[in-house]
Structure 1
Amino acid sequence: AARHRELLHALAEADHAKPALAQQKRFIAELEAEVAASNAHVKAVDSRRKEEFKEHAKYRDSLVKRLAYKATALAAQLAVRHAHTQTQLDALYNSLFAGSTPAFPDEDATEKPAAAALHTYQTARSAAEAEAHAVRLLSQGQQHFRTALALIEEAPGNSRVDMFGGGAEVQVAAARAKAQQARAMSPPGAVADLPDAPINLVRDVFFDDIFTDMAFHDEIKLSRAGVEAAARAMDGLVVDALRRHGMLEAEVREREVREFLRRLLGSEVYRLFGVLLLFYGWRV
């Protein structure tokens, strides 16, 4: 009887569990539906955000490109206009004040050194730019020699002699061509001739015995030694060209100071031009 009462009491206490469980399941299902809807909304918003950002980025990049193009074109137009105007102004001043002008001694005192400064500045600038080009050419020649040496190093692993020599010979010839071009850019005698670097080409010979193999390795050693000597000479040419370019750049900077005198002449002529215009009742 006691056990019966205990079971009835436990059953009474658990009577509400089943409907409560059903209620909790409905509540969880509703929460899961809300979470799914929220996730779908977030996904849609994120997708829209990405699309809008992509469109914005395209518009931004397009706008920047258009502005950059317009700015570059405008800068080029202004540079051309400035150069053209300066040429016309210099021609006008020259027509009025070229040569001796006793009435304007200050202009005469500045004219000759200013003209000399302009000439020497332009000469120095041209020489510096030519030497910079020579440095680039000789540096390219260095790279050709490095490639030739790399090909020679690979030669012992080849199975046929005709696989050796051709590529290295082409690279050495290209290096010599670069040195020849640099010689035309530098002062006479500045770029010395490179030593000979013959590549011994032997074709259609198989390494079928030890004597052929030994002869081939001897040819490789001779070719490597010649190319290494020429490569060292090229390195020296690059060092010399860099030194000349540095000296020319220093000279250009000095010439730029003298170029300032020419601009002073322009200022003096402009002042005198204004005086003449005012004398005749005009305004500058």
Structure 2
Amino acid sequence: MSSIEDKIKNAASRNTELLRILADTDRAIPALNQQQRYIADLKNEAAELHVKMKKLDWKRQKELQDHERYRDSVMKRFAYKVSGKKEKFEERAAKEEREYFEALQEEHQATEMKKNVEQMLDDAVKAKQKIEQDVALHQQAQQELDRLYDSIFKGPTPGFADEDAKEADVATALQQYQDAENKAEAEGKAVMLLVDAQRVMMEAIYAIKDALRYSTRDMWGGGTITDMMERNCLAQAKARLAEVRMLVRQAQNFSPAVKDLPPVHVAEGNLMSDVFFDNIFTDMAFHQKIEQSAAEMERCAHALDWNLNSTRSRQSQLMSSLDGKAKTLEQARLALQKARESAFQRIATGGHGNYDQFGPPDGPPPADLPPAYSA
């Protein structure tokens, strides 16, 4: 008898117990997911009722004030009576009383509904705790079963060719899943960096537009302060653009498919023209340079948007592929576990591994077998 068969026989009872636990708690994980969605729905409903209660409380107080204004006002009652409109006063008073009691009833109904939802939520949380215990038990049993099988079958296992083949399938599926996961995570990080770059790009565009506004004012005699504000906005735009390019380079480290951004020349002032030759013509010429910078920056922003959209598309495709590879890996693991369960069952009931190592079983074949095939 091989040492592997000895291990299988020694672990047979624990294997049976672990499989029973897994079967008993098999529905725990999907049940937990459903319970979590149910609790989330109840929490949303409770939050909506909380907002509704505030509105109903305000409405009740308003209706109460209207009701008391007619119920307790002696002067108002007297004025209606003197003018011969006593019936109208009583109708209005009755209307206000009715609306108040309707608001009171509506608030009471909402309060009862809120209590019911809170009780349902409390019950759901308690039920979730029981399900979580089953999930923990299921995961613990699965981990122990994996360790048990690995201690016996890990690596080439003479006499169990089917198990070895299934183990190789798991290794291949796992490698493919990990490769896809790494690529998807890399594209995800590139997306995050490009989103940051897009935000900074908007700051650069706002700065260049502010520079254009100050430049327009400067052409009509804005003065030194306007010149300084204009140059400050241009400096901010240039700094933000440099930050954008840095973020794009970082994104390219994660995803080489991210393209370089087109060049942008941010207009810069000249001390001689600003101080010694400052006139409408130099201001107009510089304004045109800023307009050119703004146009180049808009083109750069469009290129950045294209990069972000393309990277998001690649990430989405990779995530879809990852889901498929995750299913393939899960199927391979289940097939491996079934092969190992079959090996356990075969050995524990007196059988052997594959015939290619141990040869056929000793003794004559059972009497109920069909006759051997002969040509």
TM-score of the two chains, using structure 1 as the length reference: 0.67
2 CA distance for matches of 1:178 and 1:70?
A: 47
Is 1:223 paired with 2:303? no
SS at match of 1:102: coil
2:339 to 259, 268, 271: 268
- Note the C-alpha offset of 1:68: 6.7
Q: Which amino acid aligns with 1:46?
A: E
Q: Which amino acid aligns with 2:282?
A: T
Cα 1:81/1:231, change in 2 over 3 Å: farther
- Note the C-alpha offset of 1:208: 5.6
SS at match of 1:164: helix
Report the equivalent of 1:98.
Answer: 154
Report the equivalent of 2:167.
Answer: 111
Q: 1:242-262 CA distances to partner (integer Å, 9 max, x unpaired)?
A: 453355345425524531223
Is 1:165 paired with 2:234? yes
- Note the C-alpha offset of 1:134: 1.7
2:279 to 173, 184, 209: 209
Give the fraction of aligned pairs with identical amino acids, expressed as a percent.
31
Q: Is the 8 A contact 1:118 1:262 kept in 2?
A: no
Cα 1:130/1:70, change in 2 over 3 Å: farther
1 CA distance for matches of 2:246 and 2:116?
A: 48
Q: Is the 8 A contact 1:128 1:248 kept in 2?
A: yes
Cα 1:69/1:231, change in 2 over 3 Å: farther
SS at match of 2:112: helix
Q: Which amino acid aligns with 1:180?
A: R
Is 1:129 paired with 2:185? yes
Cα 1:37/1:138, change in 2 over 3 Å: closer
How many pairs does the alignment contain?
252
Matches within 5 A, 1:238-249: 238-249=308-319
Q: Which amino acid aligns with 2:337?
A: G
Matches within 5 A, 1:11-90: 38-39=94-95, 42-60=98-116, 62-63=118-119, 66=122, 83-90=139-146
Q: Is the 8 A contact 2:194 2:248 kept in 1?
A: yes
Q: Is the 8 A contact 2:197 2:244 kept in 1?
A: yes
Q: Is the 8 A contact 1:152 1:164 kept in 2?
A: yes
SS at match of 1:248: helix
Query: Mean alpha-carbon deviation: is it higher for 105-114 or for 123-132?
Result: 123-132
Q: Is the 8 A contact 1:115 1:262 kept in 2?
A: no
Q: Which amino acid aligns with 1:200?
A: A
User: Considering only aligned residues, what root-mean-square deviation do their CA atoms show, in Å?
Assistant: 4.1
- Note the C-alpha offset of 1:227: 2.2
Q: Is the 8 A contact 1:155 1:164 kept in 2?
A: yes
Q: 1:93-122 CA distances to partner (integer Å, 9 max, x unpaired)?
A: 111111122232221121112111112112
The runs of 5 or more residues in structure 1 that have no matched partner are: 1-24
2 CA distance for matches of 1:233 and 1:30?
A: 77
Report the equivalent of 2:252.
Answer: 183
1:234 to 304, 312, 335: 304
Q: 1:16-71 CA distances to partner (integer Å, 9 max, x unpaired)?
A: xxxxxxxxx9xx99977985785465345324313313433543564466567667
1 CA distance for matches of 2:166 and 2:154?
A: 12
Report the equivalent of 1:6.
Answer: none
Query: Mean alpha-carbon deviation: is it higher for 100-109 or for 147-156?
Result: 147-156
Q: Which amino acid aligns with 1:121?
A: Y
Q: Is the 8 A contact 1:117 1:262 kept in 2?
A: no
TM-score of the two chains, using structure 2 as the length reference: 0.53
Q: 1:113-170 CA distances to partner (integer Å, 9 max, x unpaired)?
A: 2111112112212311331332343244234334433442343221422353144234
1 CA distance for matches of 2:285 and 2:334?
A: 71
